[in-house]
Chains A and B, each alone.
Chain A
Amino acid sequence: EVQLLESGGGLVQPGGSLRLSCAASGFTLGSYGMSWVRQAPGKGLEWVSAIYRGGSAYYADSVRGRFTISRDHSKSTLYLQMKSLRVEDTAVYYCVRDLKNYDILTAFPDWGQGTLVTVSS
């Protein structure tokens, strides 16, 4: 059974940094593309970033240059390093696994429970 468990969320001031983690089990992390998807309070879903099997990383325009996605195969853990945080980055951040092992984004059948990031002074 695929399980994704996020951690690392919390309250941070504007301009601050935070690193989210996603512990993956039930599959080999490096065999699938992985993404982060966020949802601001009362709002819709927004794709944030993805890392493909080969390690290529991609970002939404809204976070490019401020967020970095990475993974540690030995720990089977996905990360999202977030810097220069803004009030508008406040959201629940979900770790998701791609349906296919293609090097494009197809669909997300597996989601974590989410971790809340609040950016506020």
Chain B
Amino acid sequence: QSALAQPPSASGSPGQSVTISCTGTSSDVGAYNFVSWYQQHPGKAPKLLVYEVSERPSGVPDRFSGSKSGNTASLTVSGLQAEDEADYYCSSYAGSHNYVFGTGTKVTVL
């Protein structure tokens, strides 16, 4: 199972928005709505930001939003803040009891 494709980096100034893409196939992202997004700060465990494409766990700000079209999912971070600087990973159920993560995107707040 190949990793989902994400851009290596993305950036924006405070207050701006940044959108990260996550491209899979018709066997994973395109087939299931179990697409999630995680935020990881250096030396920390990942944190779930979005699940089932666009749902947010309690406590996650609504600045984080997810969507999906075909085989590509997206995470938009609106109103960028300094603490949003981190690595972001998408993930998807891939069928046959497999789970795949994205390659990761480093977000820099300029």
Interface residues of B in 64-110 (CB under 8 A from A): 89, 91, 93, 97-104
A108 adjacent to B104 (CB under 8 Å): no
Q: How far is the CA of A45 from the CA of B99 in the complex (A)?
A: 11
B48 adjacent to A50 (CB under 8 Å): no
Most buried by B among A105, A112, A113: A105
The number of inter-chain residue pairs (CB within 8 angstroms) is: 64
- Given the known interface contacts A44-B101, A47-B101, the answer about A104 and B48 at a Cβ–Cβ threshold of 8 Å is no
Which listed residue, A94, A104, A113, A114, touches B93 by the CB 8 Å rule? Answer: A104
Q: What residues of B have a CB within 8 angstroms of the CB of A50 in the complex?
A: 97, 99
* B-side interface residues, number (CB < 8 Å): 23
User: Which bucket holds chain A's interface residue count?
Assistant: 20 to 34
B104 adjacent to A45 (CB under 8 Å): yes
Residue of A nearest to B92 (CB): A105
B101 adjacent to A107 (CB under 8 Å): no
* A99 on the B face (CB < 8 A): yes
Q: What residues of A have a CB within 8 angstroms of the CB of B47 in the complex?
A: 111
Q: What residues of A have a CB within 8 angstroms of the CB of B99 in the complex?
A: 35, 47, 50, 105
Query: Hey, which bits of chain A sit against chain B, CB under 8 A?
Result: 35, 37, 44-47, 50, 56, 58, 60-61, 94, 99, 104-109, 111-114
